[in-house]
Every structure is written in C-alpha cells, then in structure tokens.
Amino acid sequence: MITKNTIKLVQSLKQQKFRKEHQLFVVEGRKMVEELLRSSFDMVYLFATERYCNENGIPDDRMETASEVQMAQMSGQDTPPGILAVVRIPKRTRPISHEGMTLALDGIANPGNMGTIIRTAEWFGVKEIVCSEDCVEIWNPKVIQATMGSIFRMNVVSAPLDAYLMEERNMGKAIYGALLEGENIFKKAQWEDGIIVIGSESHGIRSNILPFITHPITIPRVGESVTESLNASMATGIILAAFAMHS
C-alpha cells in the first residue's frame, strides 16, 4: 500500500537537496523503466497505475499499483506516463584512465544538453564522462529523461576538472579542447585516444582549464555565418563523429 509518507518522499525527490539527502532519484516512463530493470541499479520502489498495467502488463513483481491521483502527485511530468520508479544513486568511482576517448565537461548547465551528451557519447563508444563539480546534477529528472537510458550504462563522475586534467596530461594523454580557434576536426587524418573537453553553453572552456589543453580543435564555420557558437550537445556529437571516422 502506498502511504502518504511514500508519496511525500517521491515528491521531495524533485529537488536536488532531497535527492542528495536520501541518495535517491526518480525514473519515469516505460522505456526508461525497462532500461532500469535491465541495469544493475538498485530499484527501491516501482509504481504503476491500474490503467498502465492493463495496457502494458506488469513488468516486475515488485510493482505497487498507484491510483491516478497518487501517480499525478508523484510524477514530475505534466502528463504522467503511468509508471514510475525510485532508484538508489550509485556510488560512483573516481575517473579511470583507460583506452579510447573520454569526455570532460566544463560547466555544462542545461539538463537537456547534459542528457543528450550522455546519450550521444554512448552511441560513439565513449565509456566515461568526467564532469566539473559545477555541472548540472546528472540525477536531475530532465537529465535522466534526455539520456533515454544511457545513464544506466555510462560511468559519469564528478571531479575537480583541473586536477583531473593535470594528472592525465602528466601521464601523456592527449587533451583536446573544443574552441573557436584550433585544428579543423575534419582535416586530420587520424586522432589518438585521449580526452575531449567540452565547455559550457555560455562561456566555453574556462581560463583555468585552457592551460591543460594539448590539442585545440574546432568545428569549421561554413560560409559567412555570424552564429557565435554551437549548442554544446550538438558540438559534442559532431566532434565525436569526426573522431570516430578518423580513429
């Protein structure tokens, strides 16, 4: 039976301070819950409405039936999808130096961009994303939704970015920085494995991070476009595609 305290708990998880306090986050929608159930994440609650159960079947024997009113109270979406899970935030390990490309995100603030970057990175075979400590929280519901399940398969960690990049540079890693001035990503014959730094939507890569960039790179502007910059998630996709073609 779903109690008022349970509903209150789920409602509180819409705010970051309570996600941090309880070490829990919320997942909504059929696809996201199916991805969750295939993952190693620890699910605490699984709720669905009777209508959802009748239309889709019961995906897990731990499910509790919620009324339409209860689901509306717990859901963070304007139109509740009818199924919602509460999940324990995993204990993320520190960044791991490994082969292949790693993404380093410097101050990404938009939840949609963060989620799309995580999803795009998985598509191109990136195993790990290292976020500066002021990036948007990855357990934000909008981030979770935008990943379309990739969050359950990617190692996304938060770390002091300058210290991380210094350590990796000292180990001989190539550190690429997405800048307005740099090597054309489409003209290099081959790229070595390393770290790709993507700056924030409004400020790009910050001044304290620039000294660690060993390979400035750029997406060339075509024609006489006066657009100042690309969307962070769009730029990430273009860069990763170019690297995949020349790796």
Cβ proximity of 84 and 28 under 8 Å? yes
Q: What pLDDT was estimated at residue 224?
A: 66
Confidence at residue 157, expressed as pLDDT on a 0 to 100 scale: 93
* 106: β partners: 199
Share of the chain above pLDDT 90, in %: 74
Out of 25, 60, 88, a domain closes at: 88
pLDDT at 133 over 80: yes
Q: How confident is the model at residue 97 (pLDDT cuts 50, 70, 90)?
A: low
Within this chain, do residues 223 and 118 fall inside the same structural domain, yes or no? yes
For the range 181-187, what are the long-range contacts, defined as Cβ-Cβ under 8 Å and sequence gap of 24 or more?
A: 181/216, 181/218, 182/215, 182/216, 182/217, 182/218, 183/215, 183/216, 183/217, 183/218, 184/217, 184/218, 184/220, 185/217, 185/218, 185/219, 185/220, 185/238, 185/239, 185/242, 185/243, 186/220, 186/242
- Name the token pair of 84: 């919602």
Q: Say how many C-beta atoms besides its own lie within 10 A of residue 123's C-beta.
A: 12
Q: Same domain, yes or no, for 111 and 60?
A: no
Q: Are residues 129 and 221 in the same domain?
A: yes
Provide the angle, in degrees to the nearest 10, between the axes of the packed helices 111-123 and 232-245. 10
The predicted-structure confidence for 70-96, as pLDDT tens digits, reads as follows 999 999 999 999 999 999 999 876 666
Q: Which amino acid is at 77?
A: Q
Instruction: Examine the pLDDT at 9 and tell me if it is beyond 80.
Output: yes
**Number of domains forming the structure of the chain:** 2
Residue 216 DSSP SS3: strand
Give the model's pLDDT for residue 226: 62
Please check the confidence at residue 209 and state whether its pLDDT lies above 80. yes
1-5, 64-68, 91-95: segment of lowest average pLDDT: 91-95
For the CA atoms of 205, 211, 212, 217, the dihedral, rounded to the nearest 10 degrees, stands at 60
Which pLDDT band holds residue 57 (cuts at 50, 70, 90)? confident
171 shares a domain with 142: yes
Q: What is the CATH number of the domain that holds 127?
A: 3.40.1280.10
The confidence score (pLDDT) of residue 202 equals 81
Mean pLDDT over 12-32 rounds to 96
Within a domain: 94: no
Q: Distance of alpha carbon 183 from its chain centroid, rounded?
A: 27
Domain containing 76: what range?
4-88
Residue with tokens 């190539």: 174
Q: Which of 88, 110, 129 is the last residue of a domain?
A: 88
pTM assigned to the model = 0.91
Together in a domain, 196 and 137: yes
Q: What is residue 96's predicted lDDT score, i.e. its pLDDT?
A: 67
Mean pLDDT, residues 18-23 taken together:
96
* Residue 96 falls inside a structural domain: no
**In the listed set 88, 114, 147, which residue is the last one of a domain according to the structure?**
88
Quote the pLDDT of residue 63.
Answer: 86
Residue 10 pLDDT grade (very low, low, confident, very high; cuts 50, 70, 90): very high
Buried b (16+ CB within 10 A) or exposed e, 161-189: beebbeebbeeebbbbbbbeebeebeeee
d(CA 40, CA 110): 27
CATH number of the domain to which 83 belongs: 3.30.1330.30
Q: What is the pLDDT of residue 98?
A: 64
